[in-house]
Structures are given as structure tokens and as C-alpha cells.
Amino acid sequence: MPSQKAQKIDLNADYPCPCGRRGRITPITLTEAFGCNKCQQIFVVEENGHVIEQLSTNYPYKKAWCWTGHQWIKAHSGLREHYLSVALFTILVLPVVWLSLVFLVSPSGFDIILWVMVPLLVVLLLALMQWLAYRRSR
């Protein structure tokens, strides 16, 4: 199995396009950038020389990759890997804490409906927002 360790990117070599298309990225003369012959994207090498970053005005998040010697792997994955744990925390833990507070204060009658329904709606709204954010980041 090939190593997953990032290698320094050679500014004079060409590589397969990290966007998943069948193109090749080649160095752009007099720059520390690469251009793809198929998707016409431009990639710049970050200061450390181990990561390339896609220059794009359409995409709100920066896409970056590391070269392992055989393939590109995503760099700077950020919160994307943690969406599930954050969503589960929001959906499972916060309502339990809120309900325990409700029973400690123990409101009666109509107040208990508000104490339960409002937080439930807030949790559902947070879960919807996290789901939409996760869909956008894929």
C-alpha cells in the first residue's frame, strides 16, 4: 500500500488533475502555479510546498490537496469530518440537558408545553442548518 505522507511538490513536474477529471496539471511559466489541460483550473502551491490550492471564484471554501507520490489526498478537511458528531451532540445531548432543566424548574400547565416545544423547534432548526451545511461542503 502506498504511503499517505505528503511529498513536496516539484514545480517543474506535471501531475494528474486533483479535481477527478482525466486532465494533467502542468507548471505555469514564471509562477508557482499549475494549470489543468482539461478543466482549465489553476492551482497554486502553498508556502510549505506540500499542498496545492485551487483558485476559484465560484466555490466559497478553498479546496486543497497533498501529493503522496501516487495520488492526491484532500488537505484542510476542517469541520467536514466532524459534522456527524456535532449534529449528534445537537440532536441528542442538548434536548436531554434542556429536559432535565425543565423538570428541575417544573413549570406547570401551558408553561411546560412552551418549555418543551420551543427548544425542540430550535434543535430541529439547528439540525436542518447542519444538514444543509454538510450537503454544501460535499
The mean pLDDT value for 6-12 works out to 85
Q: Do residues 6 and 50 touch, judged by C-beta distance below 8 A?
A: yes
Q: Which amino acid is at 14?
A: D
pLDDT in tens, 43-94: 998 878 888 998 876 666 678 889 888 888 888 655 556 667 777 777 778 7
The C-alpha cell of 130 is what? 447542519
Q: How confident is the model at residue 1 (pLDDT cuts 50, 70, 90)?
A: very low
Distance of CA 54 to the CA centre of its chain: 14
**What residue spans define the domains of the chain?**
15-76, 80-137
Other CB atoms within 10 Å distance of the CB of residue 128? 10
Q: What is the mean pLDDT of the chain?
A: 79
Cα gap 45→59, rounded to integer Å: 18
In angstroms, what CA-CA distances link 98 with 40, 84, 102, 131? Answer: 52, 21, 6, 22
The contacts of residue 85 (CB under 8 Å, 6+ apart) are none
- How open is the CA angle 132-58-78, to the nearest 5 degrees? 50
Nearest to 66 by CA among 128, 5, 1: 5
Q: How confident is the model at residue 28 (pLDDT cuts 50, 70, 90)?
A: very high
User: Does the pLDDT of residue 108 top 80, yes or no?
Assistant: no
User: Does the pLDDT of residue 23 top 70, yes or no?
Assistant: yes
pLDDT in tens, 52-61: 998 876 666 6
Helix (H) or strand (E) holding 13: none
Cα gap 28→66, rounded to integer Å: 19
